[in-house]
A = this chain, B = another copy of it.
Amino acid sequence: MSEHHLATDPTLPEPAELNAIFERAEMRDLYRISYLANALVLPVYDGIKHDFGLTRGEYLLIFCLAHLPVLTAQDVARMSKRPRNTISRAVHRMLAEGFIDRALDPEDGRQARLTITDKGRALHRTVVRRWLAREAEALAVLDDAERAALDRILQKLVTHAADLPE
């Protein structure tokens, strides 16, 4: 096995050894959460873009409006922690596609009230199936107790994170 590889030692890791980083990372949980978002969530967004032509920000806008009846662009920016200009662009493209409606607020000339259309809701229903399928794949390794624990803990983290600075 070892015959004068000194110049190139240590050896390159086997594919399976690459997972060692999950245990060695100093910020274990943050690193894993970030990895999971990449590995689980981004492929779904890729599929959404491929099949429906929506970017991440555009779909997020529809998703928010599918769960809260009226929102301003600012609301969406706050909910998704994304810059306002991204949302602004998404609003105009989703308007053009007929997925959302927009009504100037008669009581505050600055803001506009955004709502989802039937077409937008139909899109949402279709896409949600993909999310649920992906989630089921991902959570397949967990038993019921673990799922319940994860659910409870994530909810705590998420409401706390919403209050953190930056």
> A28, A29, A72: which has the most chain B beta carbons within 10 Å?
A29
Q: Say whether B30 contacts A40, CB under 8 Å.
A: yes
Tier of interface size on chain A: 35 or more
Q: Say whether B134 contacts A27, CB under 8 Å.
A: yes
Q: Say whether A137 contacts B159, CB under 8 Å.
A: no
- Chain B residues with CB under 8 A of A142: 153, 156-157
In the complex, what residue of chain B is closest to A103 when comparing beta carbons? B8
Q: Say whether B158 contacts A7, CB under 8 Å.
A: no
Question: What is the count of identical protomers in the complex?
Answer: 2
Min Cβ gap A23→B in Å is: 8
Q: Say whether A27 contacts B132, CB under 8 Å.
A: yes
- Chain B residues with CB under 8 A of A141: 156-157, 160
Min Cβ gap A141→B in Å is: 4
Q: Which of A20-63 contact B (CB under 8 A)?
A: 20-44, 46, 63
Q: Say whether B78 contacts A154, CB under 8 Å.
A: no
Q: Which of A119-146 contact B (CB under 8 A)?
A: 128, 131-132, 134-135, 137-142, 146
